[in-house]
Every structure is written in C-alpha cells, then in structure tokens.
Amino acid sequence: MAEKKVQLAVNVIEIHGKKMLHVICRDITQYKQSEAKLKKMIDELSYSNRELEQFAYVASHDLQEPLRMVASFAQLLSKRYSGQLDSDADEFIDYIVDGATRMQSLINALLEFSRVGTRGKEFAPTDMQAVVEEVIKNLKISVQETKAQITYGELPKIMADTSQLIQLFQNLVANAIKFHGDAPPKIHIEAYCQDKQWVISICDNGIGIEEEHLDRVFQIFQRLHKRDQYDGTGIGLAICKKIVERHGGQIWVDSAPKIGSTFYFSITDEG
C-alpha cells in the first residue's frame, strides 16, 4: 500500500458542558507530491541557470585570447600594408579589423552579463543618492558633450550590492543621454515606496521606443537601431534586468516615440 501523507488539526471544544476533542484529518498526499515536484523543478532550473552562467563566463573568457590575436594581426596588416595592395584587399582587411573589434565588444559584454550572477557581492547598506552622484561623475564627459541636465529627488537608503546598483543606474542614465533627440537630454530620477518596495523612475526626453519593441528591449543582444546610428552591443538593458532581479525586483518601461521614455525598477527595502 502506498504511503499516505495526512494533516491533523486537533482542537478542544465544549458541548453541553463536556470537553471534547475536535479532530480534522485531511489527506494531503497529492499536495505533498506536487510540492516535491515543484521544488525539484525549481532546483533543476536554478542549477541549469548557474550552469549557463558558468558556461557563458568560461566560453567568453576563453575566446578572448585567440580573438585578441586575430584583431592584433589584422590591425598590423592594416598599418603595414595599407595602400600597398589593391583596394579590395584594403577593404577586406578593414572588414576583419571591424569584425574582430565588434566581437571583442560582444565578448566583453557577455562576460559582464555572466558576472552579475556569478561575481555579485554581498548586500550592504547603500545610499542611492550617493550612487546617482557617482554615476553623474562617471558620465561627466557625456554630460558635458550633450549638455545634459540630470536632476533627482530624495532617494532612499537600502540594502544592495552597491557596485551593481552603480552599474544599473549608469546603464540607464547613459542610455538616456545616448538616445536623445534634437534637444539636449533632460533626465529626472525619482523614488517612491509602494507595498514595501521602492520604485525608482528614470525619465528622459529622448527619441522614445515604439510600443511593439517595449518587450524586446530587456532581451540580450537586442538592438533597435542600426550600428551606424547608435553604437553598443544590445546587452546593457539585459544586464539591468538581471541586476534588478537579483535584488528581488522587476524592471519595465513606458515610452512614446519622439516624446521620451521612463524606465522603472522596483527593489525591496531589505534588498
């Protein structure tokens, strides 16, 4: 006979002045079996995610050296023999240099993406205002070149991985600066508390995003613009999503073309 799981609830009740035991017995065998299956699936998924992160790190790390060699020799060919071969050869060498350079950028971005889960630091008390001030300092050249205006309201202190929070804000603010329209970028950062979570918004007056692309922007290697319009690897927002999820939150965006975008992310008060 198969083993059964039961749940007992026992209470003392009084009927006509007499104390009696009130016992409820429930068969929870199926519930426990479903619970065990769910736990197994979660454990397998967590293990699979760790394996994928480790694979991405090792694969991208091991690709660095041979690719660096290809890029170095291609650049050497370009410097030493440019103009000495026919025009087609010069063009082909330029393709090799450009391709190797872009591949290096993609590999570095993939390494950065994999490190979010595998190289994260312990959560510590973090002042978001200090984080934003650090980010503005890091982006000083871009701010000056574009005449960007960055303002922020009162920001909370939370438990977080400080370095990852800097990376999160820097990616979002850098995007707001990069994808600006004809007018200088205006960026405002706000925070409010909702259901024991902080919700942070980064609002800009940039070029905006078409509605049909809103779900794509947080996927890895997704680019909405041609490379000659805006540079980048298409991984920055995927890194943001991974950082936010590590902190127990979610990230989303509201946007309208030619009006601007507001990126939101939630983060628990405890981290």
Specify the CATH number for the domain of residue 57.
Answer: 1.10.287.130
Q: Per-residue pLDDT tens for 131-181?
A: 999 999 999 999 999 999 999 999 999 999 999 999 999 999 999 998 888
- Residues 107 and 160 occupy one common structural domain: no
Domain-embedded: residue 143? yes
Confidence of residue 114 (pLDDT cuts 50, 70, 90): confident
Burial of 21 (C-beta count, 10 Å sphere; 0-12/13-18/19+): exposed
- Domain ends where: 73, 90, 118? 118
Output the DSSP codes for 91-133. Answer: HHHHHHHHHHHHHHHHHHHHHHHHHHHHSPPPPEEEEHHHHHH
Q: Say how far apart CA 87 and CA 8 lie, in whole Å.
A: 85
| Whole-number average pLDDT of the chain | 84
Place of tokens 């994928």: 52
For the stretch 250-254, contacts whose Cβ atoms lie closer than 8 Å and that sit 24 or more positions apart, written own/partner, are 251/218, 253/209, 253/214, 253/217
Confidence of residue 83 (pLDDT cuts 50, 70, 90): confident
- Domain ends where: 66, 83, 118? 118
Token pair for 79? 């410097």
Q: Say how far apart CA 190 and CA 128 lie, in whole Å.
A: 11
Q: For the chain, how big is the Rg over CA atoms in Å?
A: 27
Domain-embedded: residue 84? yes
For the stretch 68-75, contacts whose Cβ atoms lie closer than 8 Å and that sit 24 or more positions apart, written own/partner, are 68/104, 70/96, 70/100, 71/97, 71/100, 71/101, 71/104, 74/100
To the nearest 10 degrees (0 to 180), the angle between helices 29-81 and 87-118 is 150
Q: Per-residue pLDDT tens for 207-227?
A: 888 887 777 888 876 666 565
- Residues 63 and 135 occupy one common structural domain: no
Show the domain range for 89: 32-118
Domain-embedded: residue 8? no
Among 198, 196, 259, 209, residue whose Cα is nearest residue 237:
209
Q: 189-198, 230-239, 244-253, 255-264: lowest mean pLDDT where?
A: 230-239
Domain-embedded: residue 245? yes
Token pair for 205? 């007056």
- Residues 48 and 85 occupy one common structural domain: yes
Domain count, the chain: 2
Q: Per-residue pLDDT tens for 24-63?
A: 888 888 888 888 888 888 777 776 666 666 666 666 667 7
Q: In terms of pLDDT, which residue wins out, 116 or 241? A: 241
- Residues 113 and 128 occupy one common structural domain: no
